[in-house]
């Protein structure tokens, strides 16, 4: 079984499960939102997930008060996904913004921007930008972690990014610059809300488990594309090689909010550990269904040209929609956070917000 070391790391409290000591959060308690973004025009997209901002250029935050970046990181972690409409930000500036957000969120120093194992060496925008392109996908290139082509369920593509890495993603951002007249929406779902919908008995049971996340299908993909797999260091010294498997706690604490979330996903999670294969299949099936079949734990974002979405991969899932023919393309940056851990003393979102 692939395994990450240190289920109870030395030196930190025994209420912590998981979390490799070499990649711990610098966030020792949840961060407090000062409200500095409230002056910008914004609206919540649903009660549980999503906020959108209009009439503000997020690139301007780079040269402004650090408080804006801090509150941006907190807002993304609280709301799951934040959409900024009609943005001027360039791919290089997206990298800078991603670095500032991940630092504000307390990522360990060893974590940087991720290099996807399928990114071609010498790709036009650099290793840390993934070009999302429907045209490229049609030709068999680009990111292929969406599985819709092998399923009749549009919901087959629900995932959170790169959870096969021992040090997985905290935040990711996507700017869509080319889009069809309609279609190509992206959906996000809240892992905080899904945790809150489990019974206390099921919550406690799952808190004792880890799961295996596996992306060995990328090995076949790399071979098919004729691109060598990126098996060097992929944004953290703990993410390297061609194993493409990791073990993570099934319930995870988001250090920025301090809230618990379900952390298994249809895209990469293959096995709950410590139970039989039958039990694992049954429980994973239930957990995937409770995400995909609760549209009141989801938000569906309709893109306009140059919109930028930034989300927290620790506590949310997302799913693309392949319902269009015309070209759709954008740029994506994905940062790495801490090695996932569960703090048994952390709270659920509803508990913390007294909902």
Ligand X SMILES: O=C(O)CCC(=O)C(=O)O
> Helix, strand, coil shares of the chain as percentages rounded to 5?
25, 25, 50
- Output the six-digit token pair for 220: 């076949």
Residue 320 interaction partner, one of ligand X, Fe ion, none, beta carbon < 5-8 Å per kind:
ligand X
Q: Does 318 bind ligand X (CB under 6 A)?
A: yes
With beta carbons less than 8 A apart as the criterion, state whether 64 and 34 touch: no
Name which of 191 and 258 has its Cβ closer to Fe ion.
Answer: 191
Name the minimum Å distance from CB 288 to ligand X. 16
Number of other CB atoms surrounding residue 223 within 10 Å: 11
Q: Does 246 bind ligand X (CB under 6 A)?
A: no
At 171 the three-state DSSP class reads: strand
| Alpha carbons 78 and 312: distance in angstroms, whole number | 9
The binder of ligand X chosen from 52, 71, 127, 161 (CB under 6 A): 161
Backbone angles phi, psi at 93, to 5 degrees: -70, -30
Q: Does 314 bind ligand X (CB under 6 A)?
A: no
Name which of 108 and 157 has its Cβ closer to Fe ion.
Answer: 157
| Alpha carbons 319 and 188: distance in angstroms, whole number | 6
Q: Does 95 bind ligand X (CB under 6 A)?
A: no
Name which of 222 and 319 has its Cβ closer to Fe ion.
Answer: 319
Chain mean position to CA 200: 25
Which residues 153-182 are close enough to bind Fe ion by CB under 5 A? 161
Name the minimum Å distance from CB 333 to ligand X. 9
Name the minimum Å distance from CB 147 to ligand X. 11
Name the minimum Å distance from CB 185 to ligand X. 8
| Alpha carbons 336 and 101: distance in angstroms, whole number | 11
Which residues 129-148 are close enough to bind ligand X by CB under 6 A? 132
- Per CB under 6 A, residues contacting ligand X are 132, 161, 172, 174, 186, 318, 320, 332
């Amino acid at each position: 079984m692939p395994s990450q070391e240190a289920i109870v790391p030395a030196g930190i409290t025994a209420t912590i499960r998981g979390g490799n000591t070499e990649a711990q959060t610098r966030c020792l308690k949840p961060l407090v939102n000062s409200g500095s973004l409230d002056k910008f025009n914004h609206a919540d997209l649903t009660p549980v997930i999503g906020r959108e901002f209009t009439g503000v250029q997020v690139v301007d935050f780079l040269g402004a008060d650090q408080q804006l970046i801090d509150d941006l990181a907190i807002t993304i972690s609280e709301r799951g996904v934040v959409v900024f409409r009609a943005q001027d930000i360039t791919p290089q500036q997206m990298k800078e913004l991603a670095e500032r957000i991940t630092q504000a969120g307390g990522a360990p120093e060893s974590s940087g921007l991720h290099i996807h194992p399928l990114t071609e060496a010498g790709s036009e925008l650099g290793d840390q930008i993934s070009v999302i392109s429907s045209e490229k996908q049609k030709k068999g290139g680009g990111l292929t972690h969406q599985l819709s082509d092998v399923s009749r369920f549009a919901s087959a593509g629900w995932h959170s990014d790169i959870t096969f890495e021992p040090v997985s993603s905290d935040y990711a951002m996507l700017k869509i610059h080319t889009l069809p007249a309609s279609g190509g929406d992206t959906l996000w779902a809240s892992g905080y809300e899904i945790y809150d919908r489990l019974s206390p008995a099921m919550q406690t049971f799952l808190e004792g488990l880890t799961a295996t996340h596996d992306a060995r299908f990328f090995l076949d993909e790399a071979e098919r594309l004729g691109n060598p797999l990126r098996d060097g260091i992929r944004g953290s010294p703990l993410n390297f090689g061609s194993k493409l498997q990791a073990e993570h706690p099934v319930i995870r604490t988001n250090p920025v909010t301090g809230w618990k979330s379900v952390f298994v996903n249809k895209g990469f999670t293959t096995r709950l550990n410590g139970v039989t294969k039958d039990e694992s299949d049954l429980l994973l099936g239930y957990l995937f269904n409770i995400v995909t079949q609760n549209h009141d734990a989801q938000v569906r974002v309709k893109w306009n040209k140059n919109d930028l979405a930034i989300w927290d991969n620790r506590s949310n899932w997302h799913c693309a929609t392949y319902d269009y023919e015309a070209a759709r393309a954008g740029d994506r940056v994905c940062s790495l956070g801490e090695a996932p851990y569960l703090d048994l003393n952390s709270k659920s979102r509803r508990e913390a917000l007294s909902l």
